[in-house]
Amino acid sequence: MAENTATKGNWETRVAEKRKQLELQIPQDWRLNAAFLSTLPSNGHLIEANIPRHSGLLSEEELDLTEHYTAAQLLQKLAWGEVTSLAVTTAFCKRAAIAQQLTSCLTEHFFDRALERAQYLDDYLKREKRVIGPLHGLPISLKDSFCIKGIQSTVGYVSFLENPPAETNSALVDLLLDLGAVLYVKTNIPQTMMTGDSENNIYGRTLNPHNTNLTAGGSSGGEGALVAFRGSILGVGTDIAGSIRIPSLCCGVYGFKPTADRIPFGGQVSGAIEGVPGIKPAAGPLAQSLDDIELFMSTVLKAEPWRYDVTTIGSPWVSALRLPSLLTIGVLGEDPDFPMHPPVRRAMESAIAALAKKGHRIVRLGHEPSRGVAYASRLAFQYFTYGPHVDHIAASGEPLVASVAKLANPLFTGPFPVDQELGIFEKIDGLHNARKAYAEEWRRTWVQHDIDVLLTPGAQNTATPHDTYGWPPYTVIWNLLDYPACIVPYSKASKALDPEPMPVHDGVQPSYEPDSVNGASCALQIVTPRHQDEKCLLFARLIDKDIR
């Protein structure tokens, strides 16, 4: 990319202008006053303190609409005319505005435009006596990388502030609008979109609303924080190494990475990572319930998404699956290179015991396949060396944020699966062959044990203090294999139950600090082979029920 001379040297001024523009877009009567801000809990536990109610900015109806319904339930009320889209959209816009002031979870908010859209949909329903589509009137939030006509997308690069607003929509945006959705905000991401901490020099750092001293995850961290705060009932992120699942587990919500190319990914902003040879990103939902995760997947895939995006697979959603009530559940063993933190290990063992008690067959895989999580991490890391560089950062003169600066240090010392000294084409060929061989090992493991579904940790850790999340071994493995994977929140960190610290000094992963993460959400990850997305969510639903 050519150097952007209009930005370089005065990046701070340009950022200040952008921040002021966004601040002015929040109506005055939706703003938290200084007196209220001075009463925020010192421990950063915003959700536990029920900040939206105590702020006084939301009416009882708005609190009810944002707290007590699934997306499916709201859609039913909208279709029957029991509530207007204008009322629902206003409620979520106001709650998103509160979330933004407390967590910096948004990059763009276009509330006036959303309210106009909601009024249009209400008028249509009144006039035509029918809904426009199955998502009629429902507000949906989107990660910043998705393009919305007339709205800017910077993906966290200061140099992209010079770019004009999008002239066209991303494919998924067109589809959601055709289905009747209301779009109202775009959400924050890390500089480069390749770290587990959603911070950049334009919009700042997204904070975790459960504990603002901890990361909200990345790269869809704004979505994770907004959904957790209930400023969005249904959000859409993208995932190439865990970018949907990491924010989900950090923020205590459900998140689903589908098989790549099932949900339209095309038309995102230039500069957003669109995959590297052999590893494709996937778009997918974050929500407060599995019902809403499945609602998103089934609704989008029943709308023939391949008509919107050339890369999307022509495979409709299959709802009528007959599955066994008792499962054979493979349990991915702890990789010695990435030991689980005590709360995560406790959550895993608690879930396994509960599932065994329900009669499910548990197969602990131990060291199968023989090349485990650490091998997959090194192989994926070699692929990512062909990902985006820091050219977009250098173009403005902005500095690296802390989590990106850490990527400049070697994350692994080897052994790497493919010789680092090979020429570029030989190396890519070697990576493809190594990936294929590794996928074959997993196929054999799956078949040998007659596994229905795999249970793994979402990460070796919970949400961590800022800039310490590190490398995501337990999520990136499923991007490498292109397996669908679902995050299910389960249990919490407790310094009373797990009082001993677990220091780690390898520069790749965080330490366990009981005081810092006390109360943080733990999570399970439910995994199935490629293109078994429907089974993955059905198994996740059954497991979620049987561990409670």
What are the φ/ψ torsions at residue 473 (nearest 5 degrees)? Answer: -65, -35
Using CA atoms, how far residue 463 sits from 207, 444, 506, in Å, is 11, 33, 18
Question: Residues near 491 by Cβ (< 8 Å), separated by ≥ 6?
Answer: 343, 346, 347, 350, 351, 521, 522
Mean pLDDT of 322-351: 95
Mean pLDDT of 29-37: 98
More confident residue, 388 or 546: 546
CB atoms inside a 10 Å sphere around CB 521: 27
15-307 has CATH 3.40.50.1000 classification: no
**pLDDT > 90? residue 102:** yes
Pairwise CA distance, residues 297 & 317, whole Å: 7
Query: Average pLDDT, whole number, for the chain?
Result: 94
**pLDDT > 50? residue 508:** yes
Compute the half-sphere exposure of residue 210: CA atoms within 13 Å on the CB side of its CA. Answer: 28
Q: What is the pLDDT of residues 361-415, one digit of tens each?
A: 999 998 888 889 999 999 998 888 755 557 889 999 999 999 988 876 656 666 8
328-546 shares the fold of 15-307? yes
Q: What is the pLDDT of residues 54-68, one digit of tens each?
A: 999 999 999 999 999
**Domain definitions of the chain by residue range:** 15-307, 328-546
CB atoms inside a 10 Å sphere around CB 123: 12
Catalytic residues: 143, 219, 243
Mean pLDDT of 274-296: 90
Q: What is the pLDDT of residues 450-480, one digit of tens each?
A: 999 999 999 999 999 999 999 999 999 999 9
Query: Is 241 flagged in the annotation as binding?
Result: yes
Only one residue has tokens 């600066």, namely: 405
Q: Where are the beta strands (DSSP E) in 188-239?
A: 199-200, 204-205, 234-239
- Lowest-confidence range among 144-153, 280-289, 313-322? 313-322
Query: Is 38 flagged in the annotation as binding?
Result: no
Helix (H) or strand (E) holding 185: strand 182-187
Fold of 328-546: Amidase signature (AS) enzymes (3.90.1300)
Task: Note the pLDDT of residue 5.
Answer: 45
Pairwise CA distance, residues 75 & 341, whole Å: 40
Task: Note the pLDDT of residue 410.
Answer: 57
Task: Note the pLDDT of residue 278.
Answer: 76
**pLDDT > 60? residue 113:** yes
Task: Note the pLDDT of residue 244.
Answer: 99
Task: Note the pLDDT of residue 271.
Answer: 66
Pairwise CA distance, residues 155 & 187, whole Å: 10
Pairwise CA distance, residues 406 & 176, whole Å: 37
Q: Which two tokens stand for residue 180?
A: 């009747």
The letter for the amino acid at 166 is A
Task: Note the pLDDT of residue 409.
Answer: 60
pTM for the model stands at 0.97
Task: Note the pLDDT of residue 277.
Answer: 64
Mean pLDDT of 422-447: 94
Percent of the chain past pLDDT 70, that is, above it, reads 95
Whether the CB-CB separation of 211 and 519 falls below 8 Å is answered with yes
CB atoms inside a 10 Å sphere around CB 466: 18
User: Pick from 338, 345, 298, 316: which is nearest to 541 by CA?
Assistant: 298
Query: Is 243 flagged in the annotation as binding?
Result: yes
Query: Is 242 flagged in the annotation as binding?
Result: yes
Instruction: Indicate the SS3 state at residue 416.
Output: coil
Query: Is 340 flagged in the annotation as binding?
Result: no
Only one residue has tokens 């979620």, namely: 544
Query: Is 255 flagged in the annotation as binding?
Result: no
User: Pick from 302, 98, 109: which is nearest to 209 by CA?
Assistant: 98
**pLDDT > 50? residue 201:** yes
